[in-house]
Amino acid sequence: MDLRVKRTLKSIKEAFYQLRKKKPIKRISVKELSELAMINKATFYLHYKDVYDLSDKLENELISSVIDSVKKYDLRQGKMEFRLFAENLSRELVAHSKEIGILFSGYDNNRFINHLEDKIKEYIFMTYPNIPNNNEINIILTLFIQGSYYAHIRNTSINPEILIATTTQIFMRLIDV
């Protein structure tokens, strides 16, 4: 990708995050975003249909980043890989907490984690058919993914390493059941 295009996309994303911190997405105009990004509206429309398209693409980038970070663990290898998977998922939630908080504040706050949960389950069940796609596994994954997410966003004053260790311990107990 051309360096100018990379800079333009970065500028658009930064402007969007700045505006999204201050107001709901429905109140962000392409004109306002373009002015803040120091581009013209036509440039914005070369890359995105509207601000909702931009928001969806940022959401998908975040989810892909999280999914890519856990793909390196082979869950067929046993508990240690499950532990590393759980730790890494928690670390990714911490690493992206600001972006998640901005993109999904207000009415969208459940959208991210529900989408992430669906994508993680889809990845696990497609990649590891020896891990049965049954009710118990679904419940355990939901408890871990949703629980970790809400533990992180509701306990921001707690040291992230303590949150990661605690959510990982809980996950390991769940898979022992």
Residues whose CB is less than 8 angstroms from the CB of residue 131 and which lie 6 or more positions away in sequence, other chains included: 75, 76, 124, 125, 137
Rounded to whole angstroms, how far apart are CA atoms 168 and 104? 24
Q: DSSP secondary-structure letter at 148?
A: H
- How high does pLDDT run on average in the chain? 88
| Domain at 3-48: CATH code | 1.10.10
The first and second tokens of residue 125, run together, are 């069940």
Q: DSSP secondary-structure letter at 107?
A: G
Q: Is 146 within 8 Å of 113 (Cβ atoms)? A: yes
Q: DSSP secondary-structure letter at 23?
A: S
The answer, as to whether pTM is greater than 0.75, is yes
CATH 1.10.10 segments of the chain: 3-48
H, E, C per residue of 25-73:
HHHCCHHHHHHHHCCCHHHHHHHCCCHHHHHHHHHHHHHHHHHHHHCCC
Q: Where are the beta strands (DSSP E) in the chain?
A: none
Mean pLDDT, 10 residues at a time, the chain of 177 residues: 90 96 93 96 96 93 89 82 88 87 73 89 82 78 88 86 89 76
Give the model confidence (pLDDT) of 54-83 as tens digits.
999 998 999 899 889 888 888 778 788 888
Q: Is 103 within 8 Å of 59 (Cβ atoms)? A: yes
